[in-house]
Amino acid sequence: MKRTKIIDVLKSTEYGKDICVKGWVRTHRSSKAVDFIALNDGSTIKNVQIVVDPTKFDEEQLKQITTGSCICAEGTLVESQGAGQSSEIQATHLEVYGLCGNDYPMQKKGQSFEVMRKNAHMRLRTNTFGAVMRIRHNMAMAIHTYFHEHGFFYFHTPLITASDCEGAGNMFQVTTKNLYDLKKDENGKIIYDDDFFGEQTSLTVSGQLEGELGATALGAIYTFGPTFRAENSNTPRHLAEFWMVEPEVAFIDQEELMDLEEDFIKYCVRWALDNCKDDLQFLNQMIDKTLIERLEGVLKDTFVRLPYTEGIKILQEAIKNGKKFEFPCNWGDDLASEHERYLVEEHFKKPVIMTDYPRAFKSFYMKQNQDTADGGSVGYKGAVAPGPTMQGTDVLFPQIGEIIGGSVREESYDKLMGEIERRQMDKTHLWWYIDTRRWGTCPHAGFGLGFERLILFVTGMQNIRDVIPFPRTPKSAEF
Amino acid sequence: MKRTKIIDVLKSTEYGKDICVKGWVRTHRSSKAVDFIALNDGSTIKNVQIVVDPTKFDEEQLKQITTGSCICAEGTLVESQGAGQSSEIQATHLEVYGLCGNDYPMQKKGQSFEVMRKNAHMRLRTNTFGAVMRIRHNMAMAIHTYFHEHGFFYFHTPLITASDCEGAGNMFQVTTKNLYDLKKDENGKIIYDDDFFGEQTSLTVSGQLEGELGATALGAIYTFGPTFRAENSNTPRHLAEFWMVEPEVAFIDQEELMDLEEDFIKYCVRWALDNCKDDLQFLNQMIDKTLIERLEGVLKDTFVRLPYTEGIKILQEAIKNGKKFEFPCNWGDDLASEHERYLVEEHFKKPVIMTDYPRAFKSFYMKQNQDTADGGSVGYKGAVAPGPTMQGTDVLFPQIGEIIGGSVREESYDKLMGEIERRQMDKTHLWWYIDTRRWGTCPHAGFGLGFERLILFVTGMQNIRDVIPFPRTPKSAEF
C-alpha cells in the first residue's frame, strides 16, 4: 500500500479509508485492552496515534515496538476520541523495519543539550531538533524565494580562495602538500608551486568581493553558502563553519539598502510565522515563552534608522542618568553588545538600523561619507559626525544584537585606492576587485546575514551549535 | 526618478511615460542625426535601445559613453520603430556613473572562452555568461522549489570533515597548523592535537552519509552545496570545487527512487524551458543549435530502466554487429562514457536509468541484491545477474553521460558491516553512520546530481569552467 506522510494523515478527514504510515516510534503504551503507539516520520512535529488491539497481534512482535524503533503500520483512518487530536489509525497490520535497543541514546526525555550534541547523529530524531531543522529549511526557502521574486540571481562564489576579504587572519589553510616533505626556498620559505593551486590558499571568510563582481554585471545577486572562521572561540555564538547570505545590488543607495534589509528580514520572519506554526508553538512552549511574541513584534514596528553619532549621544545620556555599561562608548569606539541591546531593547524597544560608522573600525570597501573642513563628515540625511565615517548600515535585533552587517560600497576608483593605500593593504590579490571600479563602475550596496543568527532568533534556541545539524567548533569535527 | 529594470521596460507598453534605466553600455552608434545606445543591466539578455538626439546633449559627454561604461538614462518610453524590438527610450537626461577605457577586456566581440576565463571577473558582463548565470540561478531555484513542494527539507551537511565518504583519497587537507613548526611524535608522525579540530580534517567529497542521518529522522532531505575533489584533472568535465545536490529519502525502494530521479530532472529541464526562454534562445543560436530540441526531447520520453546486465548484452550485441569501442565491456567492467553514450544516443535514443551494477565498482553503502546459489544475484524486476550486484540506479543522459548517481542504501546492520569488513575499511570515523542501522533502521535511498553537469546540459556549454562564476582547477584559484 502507498505510504501517506503523517503531516497529510493528520489533515485528512477521510475516515474509514485504509492507509499506510511509516516512521519512528516515539512512545508505546500498553494495556490489556489496547496499545497506543505514537509514530513520527519527521514530516511534522506531531505524532499520529496508532491504536492496536493486542488480541489481534502477535505478543512478541508488539513487544519489539519500543521507543526509537522503525515500523510500518497499515490500518483504518478514524476520528480520534482524544482531546486535541484529529485523526488516528486503527491498526490492521504492523511491520517492524528496525528494532531499537535500550542503549538508544535518545530514549529518555528531557536530556541536556550537551548530551544531545554528543549524539548529533541521533538528536535529529527528537522533537526539538526536528522543529529546528524544519524551521531552518523554511528560512532557507524564504531567502531563495524572496530574492528570486525580487529579481536577484543566486551567485556561487568560491570557497577556496587566494585572497582575504576582511584583510586579516583566522583562516583555514587548504592544501594538498605532503606535510612530511615541504619544499622550501633558500631562505627557508615554503614554496607553494607544487600545491594544488600553485599558491597558498584558504577557506573564504566572505563571498562579498566576488559577489560585487556579480552585482556589477547581473544587477542584483545573492550568495548563500558556507563560510569559515578559524577563531578559537568556544562560545554559544561562534561556529568555525557557518552559512552566510550576502546580497549585493547595483544602483541602490544607503536609504534603499536599509529598505532592502528591513523588507528582507521581515519577509523571513513572516514566512516562519506563516509556515512553521506547529514547530514555533512547540518551541514557544518548551524553549522560550516569548518567542512568538518577539517574532510578531519585529513585524509590527518600523525599524529605527539611527546614525552612529546619534546612538552615542543616546548612550552617553543614559550613562549620565545612571545606566552602567561594562565597556566605554565614546565617539570612535566600536559598540559592544550591551550598547546595541540597550538601544534596541530598552531605549527604542524595536529593531535599529545603525548607519554612518567611524571609518576606524569598518572595512576598506565601504563608501566614504563627505568629509568636512574641520575633520568631521556628513552622513545620512545630513547628520554631521565629528570624524570620518563610512556608509555602514547594520541591523540590530533584540536578544541577538547585530543580525545584519551591510554597507554601501565605495564605487570611486580613486577613493577606494586611497583607502587601500592608507591601510597599507596588499593589493596583489585584489586586482580583479579593483578592476570593477576601473571599467564602468557603478553605485552599489549589499549586506551579510549570518544564517545561524537568524535561526537562533526565529527558534529561540540559545546555542548556535543547536541550530545547525553538525557544528564545527574548536576541537570538534565529529560526524 | 525611480529606476526601472530593463526586463520590465521591455515588457511595458506605457508609451509616453517618463522612465529611468541604469546599466552598462553594450554598443553606442553615432550619426549626425541620432545616437543609439544599447543598454544592458543584467536583468535580461535583451538590451534596451536609448535614442539620443545629439543636438540636445553635450558632445563631450556623449563621447564618453563607450562600450562598457555605466550610465543612467532618463527619458520617454516610446514604441520602437526597429524590427523585433518592442519599446525604446527617447533620452531626456544622461548621467555617466563609470567611464570605460579602451583597455576594457570585454570590449571586442567574439573573444575566445580561454581569454574570457582569464577575465572571469569581467566575463559576467557578456551576453553568454549573463545567460549562463541566469540559467544557473534558475536551476538552483527549480531544485529548491521541487524539493520544498515535495516535502524535502534542505539539510546543511558540514564541509570540513574527519571522515571520507567514498573511502579513498584526493581530498584537500584543512589545517590551522603552523607548517614551519610541525609537532611530531617519537616515530616522526605529525601530531594533530594542536590543529584547530584536534585531528586531521579535510574538505568533504560528499554530504551523503550525513544526509542519511537527516533522512532517517526528518523523512526526506536534500543537500545542495559545494563539494571538493583534489584530482589533478585538467579536463572540460572536472572542477576541484563544484556544487552537488544530494536528496536522501526514507521509505522508498528502487522503483520509487527511479521515479524520483526522472521526475526531478524533468522538472528542472521544464523549469528552464518555461523560465529561461530568452537566454535559451540566445544559447541555441550562438552556442548549440540543437539545445532546445534536446531539452524538449528529454521531457517527451519516458526514461528506459535497464539493468546493467541487460546493458552489457546490448553492447556486446553491438560489437558483434561491427560497433567499435575503445574500452572493453564485459560483465564486471565499469562502463566507459562511450558505452553509456552508445546506449543513450544510438541504441535507445532517450535517457537511460541503469540499475543493479556489479558490487566490485560500487560503494560499500549500496543495498545488496539477493545472491543466488551459483554466485549470481537477482535484481530489478527479477532480472538475474551472473555475479553479486547492488541497487545502484544512475541516470545517463545524451551528451553528458552520467548526470545522476543514485542507489538504494543498505539498511541491514549485518549486511552493511559485512561489506565494510569485506572491504577492510577503517570504521573509526564511521561509528555515527553505522549507528543509523543499529537503532530504528529503515529502508531508504538517494542520489547525487553534479550541479554543473546539469548546467552544461541545460546551457549547451562545452566546458565546465564556463558554467560556474570562478572555477577552481589545478594551478588556478584566481578571483
B20 shares contact with chain A (CB less than 8 Å):
no
State the DSSP code for B202.
E
How far does B72 lie from chain A, in Å, by closest CA? 9
A312 shares contact with chain B (CB less than 8 Å):
no
**Alpha carbon separation from A373 to A223, A360, A387, A417, B152 (Å, rounded):** 40, 19, 11, 22, 59
Range 21-80 of B in CB contact (< 8 A) with A: 22-25, 41-43, 68-70, 72
**Alpha carbon separation from B384 to B317, B330, B340 (Å, rounded):** 18, 16, 21
User: For A182, which residue in chain B has the nearest alpha carbon?
Assistant: B179
B173 shares contact with chain A (CB less than 8 Å):
yes
**Alpha carbon separation from A254 to A12, A360, A441, B261 (Å, rounded):** 50, 19, 17, 45
CB contacts of A69 in chain B (<8 Å) are: 439-440
A121 located within any domain: no
CATH of the domain at A338: 3.30.930.10
pLDDT at A169: 62
Residues B399 and B334 in one domain: yes
pLDDT at A167: 45
Residues B218 and B262 in one domain: yes
Locate B319 and state its grid cell. Answer: 560489437
Looking at residue A218, its amino acid is L
Residue A83's domain spans which residues? 6-98
First to last CA, chain B: 35
Residues A162 and A66 in one domain: no
pLDDT at B177: 94
A199 located within any domain: no
Residue among B276, B315, B158 at smallest CA distance from A159: B158
B201-203 and B173-175: which strand pairing? antiparallel
Residues A303 and A350 in one domain: yes
Could you write out the DSSP letters of every residue in A221-241? Answer: EEEEEEEE------STT--SE
CA pair distance A327, A338, nearest whole angstrom: 8
| Residues A440, B98: C-beta atoms closer than 8 Å | yes
CA pair distance A37, A62, nearest whole angstrom: 10
Which residues neighbour B458 within 8 Å (Cβ) at sequence distance 6 or greater?
B135, B139, B268, B269, B272, B295
Residues A93 and A158 in one domain: no
CA pair distance B231, B163, nearest whole angstrom: 18
Q: Is the torsion defined by CA of A472, B432, A176, B184 positive or negative?
A: positive
| Residues A3, B130: C-beta atoms closer than 8 Å | no
Give the 3-state secondary structure of residue B412: coil
How far does B257 lie from chain A, in Å, by closest CA? 14
How far does B337 lie from chain A, in Å, by closest CA? 27
Give the 3-state secondary structure of residue B298: helix
Residues A22 and A139 in one domain: no
B460 located within any domain: yes
pLDDT in 10s for each residue of chain B, 479 residues: 999 999 999 999 999 999 999 999 999 999 899 999 999 999 999 999 999 999 999 999 999 999 999 999 999 999 987 766 789 999 999 999 999 999 999 988 788 999 999 999 999 999 999 999 999 999 999 999 999 999 999 999 999 999 864 445 689 999 999 999 999 999 999 999 999 999 999 999 999 999 999 999 999 999 999 999 999 989 999 999 999 999 999 999 999 999 999 999 999 999 999 999 999 999 999 999 999 999 999 999 899 999 999 999 999 999 999 999 999 999 999 999 999 999 999 999 999 999 999 999 999 999 999 999 999 999 999 999 999 999 999 999 998 899 999 999 999 999 999 999 999 998 888 999 999 999 999 999 999 999 999 999 999 999 999 999 999 999 999 99
| Cβ atoms A36, A51 nearer than 8 A | yes
Q: Is the torsion defined by CA of A151, A153, A154, A155 positive or negative?
A: negative
State the DSSP code for A440.
S
| Residues A124, B218: C-beta atoms closer than 8 Å | yes
CB contacts of B430 in chain A (<8 Å) are: none
Counting one residue from chain A and one from chain B, the pairs whose CB atoms sit within 8 A come to 314
Say yes or no: ipTM exceeds 0.95. yes
B197 shares contact with chain A (CB less than 8 Å):
yes
pLDDT at A479: 93
B478 located within any domain: no
- Give, to the nearest 10 degrees, the angle between helix B277-286 and helix B254-275: 90
Most B CBs within 10 A among A21, A41, A71, A153, hence the mutation to make, goes to: A153
Q: Dmax of chain B from CA atoms?
A: 92
How far does A462 lie from chain B, in Å, by closest CA? 19
Sheet holding B377-378: strands in order across? B370-371, B377-378, B384-385
Tell which of A98, A115, A142 closes a domain: A98
| Cβ atoms B121, A213 nearer than 8 A | yes
pTM: 0.97
| Cβ atoms B465, B239 nearer than 8 A | yes
How far does A311 lie from chain B, in Å, by closest CA? 30
Residues B45 and B138 in one domain: no
- Provide φ and ψ at B3, rounded to 5°: -75, 140
CA pair distance B266, B270, nearest whole angstrom: 6
Looking at residue A143, its amino acid is I
Angle at B30 between CA B29 and CA B33, to 5 degrees: 130
CB contacts of B156 in chain A (<8 Å) are: 136, 226, 243, 468-469
A103 located within any domain: no
| Residues B474, A173: C-beta atoms closer than 8 Å | no
Residues A40 and A131 in one domain: no
B180-196 confidence digits (pLDDT tens): 999 999 999 999 999 99
Tell which of B77, B98, B119 closes a domain: B98
CB contacts of B198 in chain A (<8 Å) are: 474-476
Nearest to B230 among A133, A196, A443 (CB): A196
CB contacts of B433 in chain A (<8 Å) are: 121
pLDDT at B163: 81
pLDDT at B169: 62
Locate B248 and state its grid cell. Answer: 536522501
B91 located within any domain: yes
Range 379-438 of A in CB contact (< 8 A) with B: 411, 432-433, 435-438
Could you write out the DSSP letters of every residue in B90-154? Answer: EEEEEEEEE---TT-TT-SSS--HHHHHHTHHHHTTSHHHHHHHHHHHHHHHHHHHHHHHTT-EE
Tally of CB atoms within 10 A around B231: 15
How far does A268 lie from chain B, in Å, by closest CA? 16
B217 shares contact with chain A (CB less than 8 Å):
yes
Residue among A218, A226, A206, A209 at smallest CA distance from A154: A218
A249 located within any domain: yes
pLDDT at B164: 67
B169 shares contact with chain A (CB less than 8 Å):
no
A280-301 confidence digits (pLDDT tens): 999 999 999 999 999 999 999 8
| Cβ atoms A86, A75 nearer than 8 A | no
CATH of the domain at B47: 2.40.50.140
Residues A296 and A436 in one domain: yes
B344 located within any domain: yes
Low-confidence ranges of chain A (pLDDT < 50): 165-167
Residues B79 and B150 in one domain: no
A134 shares contact with chain B (CB less than 8 Å):
yes
A352-358 and A304-307: which strand pairing? parallel
Could you write out the DSSP letters of every residue in A363-392? Answer: -TTBPBPEE-TTS-EE-GGG-EESS-EEEE
Residues A217 and A324 in one domain: yes
Residues A318 and A452 in one domain: yes
The H or E element containing residue B261 is helix B254-275
Could you write out the DSSP letters of every residue in A161-212? Answer: ESS-TTSS----EEE---TTS--B-TTSPBP-TTSTTSS-EEE-S-SHHHHH
| Cβ atoms B35, B54 nearer than 8 A | yes
**Alpha carbon separation from A253 to A86, A174, A341, A444 (Å, rounded):** 52, 37, 27, 7
**Count of domains forming chain A:** 2
